[in-house]
Amino acid sequence: MAIRKLKDGRWYAEVFLGVDPITNKKIRKTKTFDLQRDAKDWELDTLQSYKIGELNFTKMNVTEYLDYWYETYAINNTKYSTQARYKTLLQSVKDHVGHLALDKLKTPHVDKMYADLKKIKTKKGDRRYSDGTILKVHKVFNQAMEKAIAWDLLVKNPVKYATKPGENDTEMVVWTLEEVNFFLDSIKDSEIHNVYYPVLIAAHTGLRAGEISALKWENVNFKEGSINVKYNAVEKKGQGVVLESPKTEKSKAKVIMTQELIKELKILKREHKKHKLENGIDLDFVCCWNDGRPYRPTYISKGFRYHVEKLGLPYMSFHGLRHTHASILFELGATSQEISKRLRHSRVSTTDDIYIHLKEDTKKSTADLFNQAVENLK
């Protein structure tokens, strides 16, 4: 802070407001006054306004801020797969409101963006962004803007007060146990995109594609009948498949195998041992090529999609097998707590949020069974 008299008799006031966290440059505000008392009043008012957040001197647009948040926060605090997802989701934000100055972004801008995203169509005429995808955009955008408040770049988060997009109106697609078994029987001997074992593991355990890709024989305990999930495979540009820790700490856990899965994996294990004797190559990964390289998660997903379309089954992604596993357990009477533990969710509420529709359907079916029992007594 400094107030000094100029040669022309006026008073020059300068206020130091710290360092810009983006540019690392010192932030100063200056002004000239005819009277010394006006200079002092301005100095005090400016400092007070800055402290309570009414002033923001960082000049950047939304795109520049999101890039800074991504490089500073996301890269250092999230897994590679999460980083890639954030980057894709935030691109839609940049395309619509990225040109706006950060401190000029208002809630109506965000609401308009969500409305515009709903109108975008693919070449086939379908919506490019589902309600669920727009909700994901909202969540990561909101997270980034909350950090802007923590960094004293904003006073109010305009995304927080926007109308939050709803979940998809369409129900979650899952298969019945009969459809799962039909699919497995149909692809078991396929010479093209043979993803029999990845599908079998996913359907019987709920493991994710990356976790199956990273699964090694050393993590399969036949005596105990369990799989120890220790790694998640991610595909990094220029590096190929890299093993990382799972999505959350709770994802690192033992998953009990079904008897059918144990039987099938023992058969595969014998084939791998035979391969080593004949070719001298150790096949450390459960799902791998003849040279020992693990299946890439994208190969597993694409191979699954290929067979789904070929067989004409209700379309779902490979991750849908995880949902199918949960759905079957719900139908068999398993509780949210039991399913949450098996799927290794960080909280039971996560399980409830994801499978609320499945739970409601289960409630209806059990009510129907009770009604039927009552009717049988008449």
> Can you give the pLDDT at residue 250?
65
Burial tier of 252 (Cβ tally within 10 Å: 0-12, 13-18, 19+): middle
The residue written with tokens 């298969």 in the block is: 175
What is the H or E stretch that residue 227 is in?
Answer: strand 226-228
Alpha helical stretches, state H, 98-244: 107-119, 131-150, 177-187, 196-205, 209-213
Per-residue confidence band for 369, with pLDDT thresholds at 50, 70 and 90:
very low
At residue 365 the predicted structure's pLDDT band, cuts being 50, 70 and 90, is low
Place of tokens 């595969």: 268
- Topology adopted by domain 62-150: DNA polymerase; domain 1 (1.10.150)
Supply φ then ψ for residue 244, to 5 degrees: -125, 175
pLDDT in tens, 163-222: 987 755 456 788 999 999 999 999 998 888 899 999 999 999 999 999 999 999 999 999
Q: Among 172-181, 221-230, 302-311, 355-364, whose mean pLDDT is lowest? A: 355-364
Query: 196 with 300: CB under 8 angstroms?
Result: no
Q: Write down the pTM of the prediction.
A: 0.65
pLDDT band at 346; cut points 50, 70, 90: confident
Query: What pLDDT is recorded for position 165?
Result: 76
Residue 256 neighbours by CB under 8 Å, 6+ apart: 225, 226, 342
Backbone angles phi, psi at 45, to 5 degrees: -65, -40
Weakest-pLDDT range from 38-52, 159-173, 221-235 = 159-173
For the chain, which residues make up each domain, given as ranges?
2-19+26-49, 62-150, 177-364
pLDDT of residue 191: 83
CB 251 within 8 A of CB 264: no
pLDDT at 208: 93
For the segment 31-49, the average pLDDT, to the nearest whole number, is: 85
CA pair distance 67, 142, nearest whole angstrom: 15
Fold of the 177-364 domain? hpI Integrase; Chain A (1.10.443)
What per-residue confidence (pLDDT) applies to 358? 60
Residue 179 and residue 183: Cα distance in Å, rounded? 6
Q: Fold identical between 62-150 and 177-364?
A: no
Residue 65 corresponds to which tokens in the numbers above? 């801020």
pLDDT digits (tens, 9 = 90+) for 256-297: 999 999 999 999 999 999 999 999 999 999 999 999 999 999
In angstroms, rounded to a whole number, what is the distance separating the alpha carbons of residues 69 and 62? 10
Q: Name beta bridge partners: 28.
A: 16
Structure tokens, 366: 């059990």
Distances (CA, A) of 196 to 203, 221, 361: 11, 20, 30
Of the listed ranges 60-74, 205-219, 344-358, the one predicted with least confidence: 344-358
Provide the percentage of residues in the chain whose pLDDT is more than 70.
Answer: 86
Looking up tokens 């079904």 gives 258
Q: Is the pLDDT of residue 123 over 50?
A: yes
